[in-house]
Amino acid sequence: MKEEAEHIIKKYQLKETKKYRHITVYENGNIILVLAGIWKIQASLWTAELILMNKVDIIINIGIAGNLRGNEVSIGDVFLINQVSQHDMILPFTWEHLDYIKKAITLTSELNLDERDFSFWLHKTWHSTTGDVFISDQKKAKELRDAWWADVAEMEAFAVASVARELWMLENTYIIKAISDGADTEALRDSEDNLNFAMKNSLQVLEKIIEKYS
């Protein structure tokens, strides 16, 4: 979302280079940021565009997410995701050739970070579940946790990982999700209230990844 991207644009002094109907691209020579919006289709389309039309070393999906772990996690905690699933893809078929959309994807990228370097709690090697629906119901949140053993819920990560897998970029793909809400009845208000705080924390992790490849 624009509200998420503004933090990155300001920190890295990115300039608008392309403007489409609902998509804006920003660059600074080293970083290409695609403000693609919300939705798995948006995320997959522009991840493919980035990889195929630009010589990129890494793909990073960054943004806010809903907490599925209850009191174990606090607002502003940041998750480095290494496994993603999509919870709203339901098919009755058991054929193995459909596993690419039914089963979770494991990221093979590695990033050695010391949790003590951050003022917030950094959670490493966790699971995010993606869907084209904003989770704002405690019962639904529990269902996702139980069904997928997921730690956070959001709306783009599986699409990014799926494209990266198809285009041989999975080992250079990173997913950063900062907790903005509890995926409960207060989720909409909380996500708006806590977005800036959550994004500032996630940018500290983003900076470490960019430093690794600089």
Q: What is the CATH number of domain 58-213?
A: 3.40.50.1580
How far apart CA 157 and CA 3 sit, in angstroms, is 18
DSSP 77: -
Check residue 125 and give its pLDDT.
86
Element (H, E) at 40: helix 40-53
Check residue 26 and give its pLDDT.
97
How far apart CA 27 and CA 56 sit, in angstroms, is 13
Any idea where the domains of the chain sit in the sequence?
58-213
Predicted TM-score (pTM) of this structure = 0.94
Q: What is the pLDDT along the chain (214 residues), one digit of tens a residue?
A: 999 999 999 999 999 999 999 999 999 989 999 999 888 999 999 999 999 988 899 999 999 999 999 999 999 999 999 999 999 988 889 999 999 999 999 998 888 888 888 999 999 889 999 999 999 999 999 999 999 999 999 999 999 999 999 999 999 999 999 999 999 999 999 999 999 999 999 999 999 999 988 8
Check residue 77 and give its pLDDT.
96
How far apart CA 166 and CA 48 sit, in angstroms, is 9
Contact (CB, 8 A) for 106 and 207 = no
Which of 213, 167, 19, 175 lies closest to 85 in space, CA to CA?
A: 175
pLDDT digits (tens, 9 = 90+) for 105-120: 999 888 888 888 899 9
